Amino acid sequence: MFAVGHLALGYLSGKTSSKLLNVNANIPLLFLASTLPDIDLLIPSLEHRGPTHSPIVFCVLLLPAIIIYKKRAIPYFLALAQHSLLGDYLTGEGVQMLWPLTSRWYSGTGI
């Protein structure tokens, strides 16, 4: 998926969850979170849609924020998670969903 798609899905998931949770979401931070997994494009030693696209990595990285900020961190977590779970997995581009447990590639289209 292109960056504009990730930005749109991140905005929608983050803004919707912030309304449901009655918290204020910072729009620039939602945009940052929604594209953050693509940091691997800037790191030559990482394969695109590899470790930085793993929900396991998201959970580990955002666990301190969720513990500290509680429900205020949820919109950013969802904006981040949609990148791999909706944007890349469901569009069939494939991701290493369970890294570091396995380096297998998963795709919603089965291709």
27-77 residue pLDDT tens:
999 999 999 999 999 999 998 999 999 999 989 989 999 999 999 999 999
Residue 98 DSSP symbol: T
- Classify residue 48 by burial, with Cβ atoms within 10 Å: 0-12, 13-18, 19+: middle
Backbone φ and ψ for 95, nearest 5 degrees, come out as -145, 160
C-alpha dihedral over 80, 25, 32, 95, to 10 degrees? 10
Predicted structure pTM score? 0.88
